[in-house]
Amino acid sequence: MKKLLFLLFVILCSCQSNKKENPDPDTNSILQLPLDPYFADIRVNDIKLAEPVYGDWLYSRKEKGQSFEQFVKTKHIVPTAEKNIIYLQPIGEFSSLQTKQIELVRQYLQLFFQLETKVLDNLSNDIIPQKARRIGDMGQEQFLAGYILNDILKDEEPDKGVALMAITEMDLYPKPEWNYVFGLASYRDRIAVSSIHRMQKDADFNLSLERLLKICSHEIGHMFGLHHCIEANCVMNGTNSMTETDGHFIRLCSLCQRKLNSGFKYDNVKRLKDLEKYFKENNLEEGLALMKKDLEKLNNK
């Protein structure tokens, strides 16, 4: 009996040892690659997050962050030849300016993720039943974000779609006890919804556009495996309010850029130049300054 127990113990240890010594080959190869000088060069432009104050996302949430090694070892979506297009699904009745913003979001996401991005035909608000609507605390009509995810987007399978995000002009709420939410996503199902409604409050066209760009790139970033960033001021920071969103950079920090690029394999410098041109053409001064700062570091090597 003792010999049998000893044999079982040896077999168990052998299995555990094999698991440790034979990690996923793709993961292991990525981790063994030397750090691209690009990320080291732009890292000096990362700005450390300030200590959270009452009302901030991290004040009441003790998030642990996500290292590059953790990101690589965690299962996440990577674009393939079969699935490499981001889709936007407008839902509602949009003004001409809102329609323009959606097109500008499409252009931005295509540059941000270096993936083709398309806008699907509008769906009417009538697609939302009464059971998924309510009147909010300021008299505004709100849609249940989860209904849009599970009952509208989940069954959509656009050609070669790797991520699908709905955009609505109506306010959203995630569950009865919450007042509102800017957006909501199911990262496993690669679907999300964002609302323009609160982006426009006390904002001109450019500010509301900048807010929408931040929210949409943030949610889609989650779909591709990026957790909330706690390392630096970054578009992947968690946010509790529009004020906090406005204080976050539209830029991905160097660590989050490295994570994203590990699976996408796009040209980092081309991406920076594309974004610089976009910000310049659309008079978005903060984003333009951030891209110029990174490009200067690369040019002054």
Model pLDDT for residues 177-232, shown as the tens digit of each residue: 889 999 888 888 999 999 999 999 889 999 999 999 999 999 999 999 999 999 99
Three-state SS sequence of 7-73: HHHHHHHHHHHHHHHCCCHHHHHHHHCCCCHHHHHHHCCCCCCCCCCCCCHHHHCCCCCCCHHHHHH
pLDDT of residue 301: 64
pLDDT of residue 30: 59
What pLDDT band is residue 299 in, cutting at 50, 70 and 90?
confident
pLDDT in tens, 29-71: 556 566 789 999 999 999 999 899 999 999 989 899 999 999 9
Q: What is the mean pLDDT of the chain?
A: 89
Query: Domains in the chain, please, with CATH?
Result: 36-76+232-301 (no CATH), 77-224 (3.40.390.10)
Q: Which residues contact 275 (CB under 8 A, 6 or more apart)?
A: 111, 112, 287, 291
| Cβ atoms of residues 117 and 87 within 8 Å | yes
CA distance 252 to 229: 9
- The set of catalytic residues is 219
Q: Which residues contact 285 (CB under 8 A, 6 or more apart)?
A: 279
| Cβ atoms of residues 164 and 153 within 8 Å | yes
pTM to 2 decimals?
0.88
| Cβ atoms of residues 259 and 235 within 8 Å | no
pLDDT in tens, 140-192: 999 999 999 999 999 899 999 999 999 999 999 999 988 999 988 888 899 99
CA distance 261 to 25: 18
pLDDT of residue 249: 98
pLDDT of residue 34: 65
CB atoms within 10 A of CB 122: 15
Residue 290 has φ and ψ, to the nearest 5°, of -65, -40
What pLDDT band is residue 135 in, cutting at 50, 70 and 90?
very high
Write out the two tokens for 140: 């505004």
